[in-house]
Structure 1
């Protein structure tokens, strides 16, 4: 998997102060995308051991609420193994941190992926420029859902995250 950046102390991509991993690769190519530079899965740089350690270093900081995987699309099929490996490690070894994923895929397309058990919140659906709303909490367009993954898996239906 390739990535473009790791940012920290981010307040726009999930609740609290977050560390964000901006992955490479997206097959949705939404009109009005804020990060079209991340569409090419071969763009950016390889996400190797040093990048993984940088990500974990930031997540061990007490003031960081968790990680957000964005991009590109973290759930692009060729990104899934790495993303779910990271999510599992974080949930097992960095307690109290939340895992958020922004994806263009719908919940119904990804809910059965084994790695979803390590995810707290999924913002699903392609960005639709005609539905863009800067006041819509945690998502770019009103067709996107901010899903409480664990409650949704337990109940077998979409449960939206409460603020």
Structure 2
């Protein structure tokens, strides 16, 4: 896997101050994507053990709420397989940090055995997330008033509550302040 950028102290892509990892590779190719350069799976730098170590270091301060995965597309099967060991490490070494991910795929696609993004690691990868922002960016539904989303079709999903109940549960910001 490659990544295009790491941002430290990001306040735009999840609750609180976060470290964001922009992975490379995306087959969704949303019209007017804000980072079309990340569609290329070889864009940027290789994601290595040193990259993981740097991210753990950046995540360690108390004022950092957690990690956010963006893209490109974290839920491309190739990227899921590369991210899984890293997210296990984050959970093991920094269990107090939250993990958010953005995906152009929907929750339903990620659970459909016949859908492209679903692979042998999808369920475990999802189980390591706190929040998933799902759905392709749709330019006609662009709305700058939406927090943590670019278009109104996208949902902010509370992953632990959804997995526990078996019913898709939207994230409630008021419950997390």
TM-score, length basis structure 1:
0.96
CA contact (8 A) 1:123 1:145 kept: yes
Instruction: State how 1:131-150 maps to structure 2 within 5 Å.
Output: 131-150=141-160
2:104 — aligned with what? 104
Q: For 1:153, which of 160, 163, 167 is the aligned residue? A: 163
- List, as ranges, runs of 4+ consecutive aligned residues in structure 1 with deviation greater than 6 Å: none
Asked if the contact 1:132/1:140 (under 8 Å) is kept, the reply is yes
User: What is the aligned partner in structure 1 of residue 126 from structure 2?
Assistant: 116
The 3-state SS of whatever aligns with 2:162 is: helix
Q: What CA distance in whole angstroms lies between the structure 2 residues aligned with 1:88 and 1:134?
A: 34
Any stretches of 5+ residues in structure 2 without a counterpart? Answer: 112-121
Specify every segment of 5 or more residues in structure 1 that has no aligned partner in the other structure, as ranges: none
Instruction: Compute the TM-score of the two structures, normalised by the length of structure 2.
Output: 0.89
Residue 8 (1) aligns with residue 8 (2): yes
Matches within 5 A, 1:43-122: 43-111=43-111, 113-122=123-132
Q: What number of residue pairs does the alignment pair up?
A: 163
Give the drift of 1:113.
Answer: 2.0
Q: What CA distance in whole angstroms lies between the structure 1 residues aligned with 2:66 and 2:82?
A: 17
Contact 1:84–1:116 under 8 Å retained in 2: no
RMSD: 1.0
